[in-house]
Structure 1
Amino acid sequence: MDVVVTGGSSPLGRVLVPSLQAAGHQVRQMSRRGAGPGGVRADLATGRDLAAAVRGAEVVVHAASDPRGNPWEVDVAGTRRLVQALDRDRLQHLVYVSIVGVDRVPWNYYRAKYAAEQVLLASGLPVSLVRVTQFHHFIDGMMATARRGPVLIVPMGWSAAPVDVAEAAGFLTEVAAWPAASDVVEFGGPEDLAAADIARAWAAAREPNTRVVATPLPGKLSAAFREGGVLPGPRAARGRRTYAEHLGVRH
């Protein structure tokens, strides 16, 4: 298949592109810079070069996102621009990379991702919405950011199901070859872990002199996390590589 990957230069995109290529697809790696072999330049925030970048695509894996900037411009308006740019007569499948919990967690970024899902469901295109849990490297970054000297403070009662980014890429490669689901498909890590346990494992492996402190966090956002808002449901597909294995912990 002729496949375009948006967000091709992201951590997910960098493993997703070779995964799709290994499955026999011709892959265009779309990003704002368009760098590297097979790279094509296009900007979802402005629509610049978008039509040329996706011309002739049979499958699009839409992984582009802007969590630190303006997700309403990139994730929502950019998805609308992408829908308008695609060749409906040629496109067979659009796979959208979303996040487990976008329909439950009241966070601006998650609301934008959920809105982008609705844009795609209303588009009339053959779509699958793949909600994925947090990648191992994202959890690492969160732990490093939360650490203050010898103390790592985490919210009490929060849980997550960290997932290996390469396994997520492999699952997305499989989904791309399926018929469009026109619905949500979930993919998560093999274990549901308490935030405090994640923090202790990270600290033991990366910063062994760090003390983990779990503290209550008020508000609707925290309540959603305590209620398992970012945990995959019972029908979700699961990866196999644990967070402890990612950290290099031996049992």
Structure 2
Amino acid sequence: MKNDAIMVTGATGTLGREVLERARRTGLPVRALSRRAVLPDDVGVTWYTGDLAKGVGLDEAFAGVRTIIHCATDIRRFKRDIPAFHHLLESAKRAGVEHVVNVSIVGTDRIPYPYYRIKLEGERLLAASGIGWTNLRATQFPGLLDTVFTVLSKLPVVLVPTRTVCQPVDPGEVADRLVELALDGPAGRVPDLAGPEVHTVDRLARTWLRAAGKRRLVLPVFVPGKAAAGFRSGALTVPDRAVGRRTWEEYLAEKVAR
């Protein structure tokens, strides 16, 4: 079987859906991996059911694949991500996959936050795998902040960490870059991708509340600990890589304001 297909893992997630749509435009055979059976209603996409964490269904899914764009993650049960990465790499080797494109997080090597440590370990596994690889770190997605503020706003006072900044980037723009990298050869760690503007978290919260039509007091609070210190250090941002175009305000106007 000729290895020319692109496989997207985590294809039903926020980023995976965006990547899948752009991969279809390449004209190459496109496959999508999901833990649950998906109705094959996407023209040009072949869906496979497989479980990365258990290593089930991967050999069939990866046979004939040249490049994997790895978007699968589970922030709620993130300890599964490392066994999943092991299974992905082992199966990719057996299938003769030539290139794995991985998406990670800006600051993952500077903030001792448990989920970030897992992402960093995944980067190390990929680099040592013997498979051609590319690793892209991106800043936070607006949808994540939206979810956080939705939860926090259920209380009369919205508590946010003091002196913390972030740089939201549109997942569609990250998807554009991932597919571009997939079409090129393995490049190792590539320059980070960040949104167009750096914001303090308290400002993000206030603008979100206005867009959502909610009246709440936003109270910045000092959070102790090494992870919180890492967040305060500015490690979530890369101002010199502000290459994204879609702003936080544009996201609010489209997704939050009603």
Q: Is the 8 A contact 1:99 1:113 kept in 2?
A: yes
Query: Among residues 199, 220, 227, which one is paired with 2:226 in the alignment?
Result: 220
One-letter code of the match for 1:202? W
1:9 counterpart residue number: 12
Q: Any runs of at least 4 consecutive aligned residues in structure 1 with deviations exceeding 3 A, and if so which?
A: 87-90
Q: Which deviates more, 184-193 or 131-140?
A: 184-193
- Whole-angstrom CA distance in 1 between matches of 2:207 and 2:17: 27
- Whole-angstrom CA distance in 1 between matches of 2:97 and 2:239: 30
Verify: 1:58 aligned to 2:40, yes or no.
no
One-letter code of the match for 2:79? W
Identity of aligned residues (%): 35
One-letter code of the match for 1:45? A
SS at match of 1:94: strand
User: CA shift at 1:231, angstroms?
Assistant: 1.0
User: CA shift at 1:208, angstroms?
Assistant: 3.1
SS at match of 1:214: strand
User: CA shift at 1:18, angstroms?
Assistant: 0.9
- Whole-angstrom CA distance in 1 between matches of 2:39 and 2:191: 31
SS at match of 1:95: strand
Q: Is the 8 A contact 1:55 1:87 kept in 2?
A: no
2:216 counterpart residue number: 210
- Whole-angstrom CA distance in 1 between matches of 2:247 and 2:133: 29
Q: Is the 8 A contact 1:3 1:57 kept in 2?
A: yes
Q: Is the 8 A contact 1:163 1:239 kept in 2?
A: yes
User: CA shift at 1:91, angstroms?
Assistant: 2.6
- Whole-angstrom CA distance in 2 between matches of 1:202 and 1:25: 40
Verify: 1:18 aligned to 2:24, yes or no.
no
1:199 counterpart residue number: 205
1:109 counterpart residue number: 115
Verify: 1:172 aligned to 2:178, yes or no.
yes
Q: Calculate the TM-score normalised by the size of structure 1.
A: 0.92
SS at match of 1:187: coil
Alignment CA distance shift 1:87-1:220 (3 Å): closer
User: CA shift at 1:24, angstroms?
Assistant: 2.0
User: CA shift at 1:184, angstroms?
Assistant: 4.2
Q: Is the 8 A contact 2:59 2:94 kept in 1?
A: no
SS at match of 2:134: strand
User: CA shift at 1:156, angstroms?
Assistant: 0.7
SS at match of 1:58: strand
Verify: 1:248 aligned to 2:215, yes or no.
no
Verify: 1:31 aligned to 2:45, yes or no.
no
Q: Is the 8 A contact 1:161 1:193 kept in 2?
A: yes
Query: Among residues 68, 72, 82, which one is paired with 2:79 in the alignment?
Result: 72
- Whole-angstrom CA distance in 2 between matches of 1:159 and 1:180: 32
Pairwise CA RMSD of aligned residues?
1.8
- Whole-angstrom CA distance in 1 between matches of 2:108 and 2:211: 30
- Whole-angstrom CA distance in 2 between matches of 1:89 and 1:78: 16
One-letter code of the match for 2:251? H
- How many positions carry a matched residue from both structures? 247
Q: Is the 8 A contact 2:139 2:236 kept in 1?
A: yes
1:190 counterpart residue number: 196
User: CA shift at 1:88, angstroms?
Assistant: 6.5
Query: Among residues 36, 40, 53, which one is paired with 1:45 in the alignment?
Result: 53
- Whole-angstrom CA distance in 2 between matches of 1:127 and 1:244: 35
Q: Is the 8 A contact 1:128 1:180 kept in 2?
A: yes
Q: Is the 8 A contact 2:139 2:195 kept in 1?
A: yes
Structure 2: stretches of 5+ with no match in the other structure: 41-45
One-letter code of the match for 1:144? T
Structure 1: stretches of 5+ with no match in the other structure: none
User: CA shift at 1:161, angstroms?
Assistant: 0.6
